[in-house]
Amino acid sequence: MLEWSETDLAVRDAVREFIDKEIRPHVDALESGDMEPYPIIRKLFKTFGIDVMAKEALDKRLARLRAGEQPSGKGGGGMFGNSSGGMGFVVISELCRVSMGLVTGMGVSLGLTVPTIQSRGTLAQQERWLPGLVTYEKIGAWAITEPDSGSDAFGGMKSYVVRDGDDYILNGQKTFITNGPDADVVVVYAKLDEPGVAPRDRKVLTFVLDKGMEGFEQSKPFRKMGIHSSRTGELFFNNVRLGRDRLLGETEDNRSGDGRDSARSSFATERIGVAAMALGVIEECLRLSVDYAKTRKLWGQEIAQFQLIQLKLAQMEVARMNVRNILFRVIESAEQGKPISLAEASAIKWYCSQAATDVAMEAVQLFGGNGYMTEYRVEQLARDAKSLMIYAGSNEIQITHVARGLLSDS
């Protein structure tokens, strides 16, 4: 794949028109928290029929399951339903040019919560939770991270469940949870309290919680450096009683493996998505920087005539080309049915997030004092881009995954 298809470009132009009309005028309200992010995405979905496509894809999947068939993992009504090619990535990158937080919230709900229930849940569980989630009528959250775990997500996990008859009792805490303050449905990873088994080695189970359950508390949104239109918070579990119907697969021996296996597959998906997010940031920074360099004058000439400014612009363009080509590699792999390995997904996330952050910081520098001011927007892009180096696993842990992949192949 060397270029976007005509369909992708048509989608891009239509989405840009929607963004210019429905999102750009409200960026300040989204950044301040005066406007919730979810209604805008719902309007986007209705405008382009994404909600209908997702519902139709889910209905077909559920029908096959009811007939006793085992459907493929594709097209289950997750991120953008049955959309093929680069459509979903085009939507993501275009949104990230204006408000990355919108994508962050949408990605966790549709790209993590939905696929986890879809891949690990029984037919009854999928029928129970997916219809509202795939259309974004209900908001999903995906809870692994804890205050003391950091990159050691499973080894440092302290949230636990104890068997109580046929039920489980959940206690613990999760933090940095995207959509946490508002989520209607939450996928929670917790360790089974197994006497005689070392805490680090205990089985990880996956449960689904609904807002308002007794003992389940959702915090107010955190104040953050960037991605302000994504609402992030903490979750608290105080003796939350969970029936077996809330344990995904309704068995401790899920056919999809331990909860660790489920999470690792989601990690790869999440990291690949960073490429599209980074591309949006880079393209917007480059557009703003080129326009500014042509209009800003110093010593009687446009700053675009200065070689150091030209160097910054050229480096931004090289970053754009590299990240775009990486994204094309991802799209081609999906079309050919060849999944990206966790090591390659980590490499993609590491490189693209660093490239986006570098480009955004150079854009701020190119704008000088104006770049530090909110009205010129590159400061927001720089704050948002930095989150990509932490989001979906810090870049330091990505390096470890890349190295392990190399060493295991040798």
* Residue 73: pLDDT over 60: no
pLDDT for position 315: 98
CA distance readout (Å), 95 to 37, 268, 323: 12, 21, 16
pLDDT for position 261: 75
Across the range 20-36, mean pLDDT stands at 94
**Together in a domain, 157 and 114:** no
User: What backbone phi and psi angles, to 5 degrees, belong to 25?
Assistant: -65, -15
In a domain, 318, yes or no: yes
DSSP state of 72: -
Kind and range of the H or E element at 283? helix 259-295
**Together in a domain, 133 and 149:** no
**Together in a domain, 400 and 350:** yes
Across the range 226-233, mean pLDDT stands at 96
> Among 246, 270, 299, where does a domain finish?
246
In a domain, 251, yes or no: no
Across the range 392-401, mean pLDDT stands at 91
Angle at 393 between CA 366 and CA 172, to 5 degrees: 130
Q: Which residues contact 139 (CB under 8 A, 6 or more apart)?
A: 38, 105, 109, 179, 182, 183, 184, 185
**Together in a domain, 230 and 162:** yes
In a domain, 254, yes or no: no
In a domain, 338, yes or no: yes
pLDDT for position 76: 42
Dist CA 171 CA 177 (whole Å):
17
* Residue 208: pLDDT over 70: yes
Domain harbouring 82, CATH code:
1.10.540.10
pLDDT for position 152: 84
**Together in a domain, 304 and 274:** yes
pLDDT for position 74: 46
At 230, the pLDDT band (50, 70, 90 cuts) reads very high
At 318, the pLDDT band (50, 70, 90 cuts) reads very high
pLDDT for position 72: 59
**Together in a domain, 203 and 280:** no
One-letter identity of residue 16: R
**Together in a domain, 335 and 353:** yes
* Residue 277: pLDDT over 80: yes
pLDDT tens digits, 340-357: 999 999 999 999 999 999
pLDDT for position 75: 43
Among the ranges given (185-199, 256-270, 300-314), the one the predictor scored with the smallest mean pLDDT = 256-270
Domain harbouring 349, CATH code:
1.20.140.10
Domain residue limits at 203: 143-246
In a domain, 335, yes or no: yes
Dist CA 328 CA 90 (whole Å):
11
Strand 167-178 vs strand 297-298: parallel, antiparallel, or unpaired?
Answer: unpaired
pLDDT tens digits, 123-164: 999 999 999 999 999 999 999 999 988 778 888 899 999 999
**Together in a domain, 111 and 172:** no
DSSP state of 241: E
Token pair listed for 31: 């950044």
In a domain, 124, yes or no: yes
* Residue 257: pLDDT over 90: no
In a domain, 26, yes or no: yes
At 85, the pLDDT band (50, 70, 90 cuts) reads low
In a domain, 340, yes or no: yes
For the chain, give the mean pLDDT: 92
pLDDT for position 372: 96
pLDDT for position 86: 75
Dist CA 239 CA 227 (whole Å):
33
* Residue 258: pLDDT over 90: no
* Residue 106: pLDDT over 70: yes
**Together in a domain, 21 and 107:** yes
Our CA dihedral for 114, 119, 121, 127, rounded to 10 degrees, sits at: 50
**Together in a domain, 86 and 168:** no
Across the range 49-56, mean pLDDT stands at 94
Domain harbouring 154, CATH code:
2.40.110.10
* Total domains in the fold of the chain: 3
**Together in a domain, 195 and 272:** no
> Among 138, 171, 199, where does a domain finish?
138
**Together in a domain, 393 and 299:** yes
> Among 220, 246, 272, where does a domain finish?
246
At 1, the pLDDT band (50, 70, 90 cuts) reads low
Across the range 87-91, mean pLDDT stands at 90
Dist CA 226 CA 1 (whole Å):
33
204 vs 265, higher pLDDT: 204
* Residue 243: pLDDT over 70: yes
* Residue 79: pLDDT over 90: no
pLDDT for position 84: 47
